[in-house]
Structure 1
Amino acid sequence: MMNKTVVIKEFGGSDQLKIVDMPAGEPGDGQVRIAHKACGLNYIDVYQRTGLYPLSLPQALGMEAAGVIEAVGAGVTHVKVGDRVAYASMPPGSYCERRVMPAAQVCPLPDEISFEQGAAMMLQGMTVQYLFHRTTPLSKGDTVLFHAAAGGVGLIACQWAKSEGITLIGTAGSDEKCQLALDHGATHCINYTTENFEEKVKELTGGAGVDVVMDSVGESTFEGSLNSLKPLGMMITFGNASGPVPPFNLAQLGAKGSLKITRPTLFTHIGKHEDCQEMARHLFSKVISGDVKIVIGQEFALDDVTAAHDALEARRTTGSTILTV
């Protein structure tokens, strides 16, 4: 059974993405084989393609997808052949027609959620779940600064915050993107191309600053993010779309108000089977209830994966992006 798969043999630009035919194989102990219906596209895929997050080469890319279980290996009890499923998981390899992979992070997908939504929501939605529920205590009335608020993670975060009574101040790179964030529940949104977000945050909070910053942009926003926190505030840096944060003096955290900082990853949080399944159920409940709507801004065919990466890197995307199989 041959299987169209996207791989890289060298790190570099989107031209390194190659489509090859590979055998799908049979699942071993603790594994399943999934026939994909749609695959998710995320900025971590770019980091892996460029070598910012090094991988052993050659390597298939992609971290999430949704589809139907075709075969189940020994010891797998939480899903069976014919089940609808979705996942975000290491190792990479979801840009393909079908895949044999570890079953622990594969989650039953409720009938109320489409394959396209499932492929678009797992990595980004469970990221929001751990940001709001597993990283630092957040309560109704708290204020969060969220960068890239019109992206896939951002639009979920805007809705999540609104559903829990949390004030979310977003940033985005255009008035149109700011309006999109506002339409999805952001309390305020700052166009960072026309306003200094640090100054605007101080204005919006009466000089107090925010309780938490959630920053996936990295180098270009890091200093301003720290300066936007109130004393004892928490800086969550969970990505680096503008480049990695350079080394900095930890004494800054004391000087700026005994700040806290953490650099979490989704894959630590979903590392245990039971934690992953619980996080996924929480996400699914948010979507089924209508608190969170999954916005798929772009769809590309698997064969057009190069164009999809180009659009993502050029910041021409809003919401989530998927590859259809």
Structure 2
Amino acid sequence: MRAVRVTEWGGPEVLKVHPDVTIPEPQVNQILIKVGASGVNPVEAYKRTGRDAKSMSLPWTPGTDCAGTVHKIGLAVTNFKPGDRVYTFGSVTGTYAEYAISTEDNVYLLPDQLDFKAGAALGVPYFTAYRALIQRARAEAGQTVLVHGASGSVGIATLQFAKAYGMTVLGTAGTPEGMQLVRENGAKFVFNHRQDGYMDEIMTATSGEGVDVIIEMLADVNLQKDLEILAPDGVVAVIGSRGTAEIKPALMLGKESTIIGVTVRGGVKGQKSRKVISAAINAGIQSGWIKPHIGKEFSLEGAPQAHHEIIDGPGALGRIVLTVP
């Protein structure tokens, strides 16, 4: 099969397609998937640089989630059969390839309403969004939610959940196109996070009361300001950070506010938690309000450009995917 292989740690240029990789064989509880599309996540770009080199071995095929068709199943697999359309929330062998292995508990049936590209936008983005908003921040109907970096794939998913669950949604983006996308996906108020004073505009939009929940994609930049605009008993759920943050803890005392971390891979290891999230996703698809937005798509050969876009692009616009013919 054709697969992207990393044989040395480095920049996007180390992502190279190899045409003669052996198709993996599923073990007892595993499923071999013929990949139709693979999602591209920031974590894969970070790992590509060798950040986790001590815990990884080369050659390495990136990719966490994908959508496609079940090709072959292990002897203990009971919930899937060859030909089923599926999406994944994890991979054993990496999904930047024509075939990928996942364990049965990380595979979910893909509803007919969605094609493979949309399916490849479900796993990490929607699992992360639900985990952060509902399971960790415990956001409720009637609350005000701010999504920082709302035009990215996790941001779009969070907007859709928040709106459907009866919350007042505010979102930020860094480009006019991103701001429009945030608006289209449920935000009542939208702000440009590259403009000075936008946090003051958020306070004005909430009549000076602040926001109840903040979903934070870049804590090293925003965390201090987040604490300033939180309402009493407010929560900041940190999904992403690229460095350290300096904060004034005193801001948390009078408001009794909370900062929580979100790690979707570790946080939803439990089968019960995964079932809850997948059921919520399926309900949203059937009701028509879960609509993954595909921003850019590339072939396997375009993986270097996809990594450049997701880290250094001008502004996120939904999900980046690799399509596999």
**Cα distance, 1:156 vs structure 2:** 2.2
Distance 1:13 1:256 in 2: 45
Distance 2:171 2:288 in 1: 21
Distance 1:228 1:52 in 2: 33
Q: Aligned pair 1:191/2:189, yes or no?
A: no
Q: Aligned pair 1:87/2:100, yes or no?
A: no
Query: Per the alignment, in what secondary structure is the counterpart of residue 117 of structure 1?
Result: helix
Q: CA RMSD in A?
A: 2.0
* AA matched with 1:141: G
Q: Answer yes or no: is the 8 Å Cα contact 1:269–1:276 preserved in 2.
A: no
Matches within 5 A, 1:172-321: 172-240=173-241, 243-246=242-245, 251-252=249-250, 254-255=252-253, 257-316=255-314, 317-321=316-320
In structure 2, relative to structure 1, the CA distance for the partners of 1:49 and 1:79 (3 Å cut) is same
* AA matched with 2:320: T
Q: Answer yes or no: is the 8 Å Cα contact 1:12–1:49 preserved in 2.
A: yes
Equivalent position of 2:127 in the other structure: 126
* TM-score normalised by L of structure 2: 0.91
In structure 2, relative to structure 1, the CA distance for the partners of 1:228 and 1:8 (3 Å cut) is farther
Q: Aligned pair 1:13/2:11, yes or no?
A: yes
How many residues matched? 320
For structure 2, which runs of at least 5 residues remain unmatched after alignment? none
Query: Per the alignment, in what secondary structure is the counterpart of residue 22 of structure 1?
Result: coil
Distance 1:97 1:269 in 2: 29
**Cα distance, 1:206 vs structure 2:** 2.0
**Cα distance, 1:135 vs structure 2:** 1.1
Query: Per the alignment, in what secondary structure is the counterpart of residue 282 of structure 2?
Result: helix
**Cα distance, 1:9 vs structure 2:** 2.9
In structure 2, relative to structure 1, the CA distance for the partners of 1:247 and 1:62 (3 Å cut) is farther
Query: Per the alignment, in what secondary structure is the counterpart of residue 125 of structure 2?
Result: helix
For structure 1, which runs of at least 5 residues remain unmatched after alignment? none
Distance 1:89 1:292 in 2: 20
**Cα distance, 1:232 vs structure 2:** 1.9
**Cα distance, 1:143 vs structure 2:** 0.6
Equivalent position of 1:144 in the other structure: 145
Q: Answer yes or no: is the 8 Å Cα contact 1:8–1:60 preserved in 2.
A: yes
- Higher mean alpha-carbon deviation, 261-270 vs 184-193, is at 261-270
In structure 2, relative to structure 1, the CA distance for the partners of 1:51 and 1:248 (3 Å cut) is farther
In structure 2, relative to structure 1, the CA distance for the partners of 1:232 and 1:285 (3 Å cut) is same
Equivalent position of 1:57 in the other structure: 57
Equivalent position of 1:323 in the other structure: 322
**Cα distance, 1:199 vs structure 2:** 1.5
Q: Answer yes or no: is the 8 Å Cα contact 1:30–1:102 preserved in 2.
A: yes
**Cα distance, 1:14 vs structure 2:** 0.7
Q: Answer yes or no: is the 8 Å Cα contact 1:122–1:280 preserved in 2.
A: no
Distance 2:176 2:282 in 1: 31
Distance 1:254 1:158 in 2: 26
Distance 2:100 2:56 in 1: 19
* AA matched with 1:50: T
* TM-score normalised by L of structure 1: 0.91
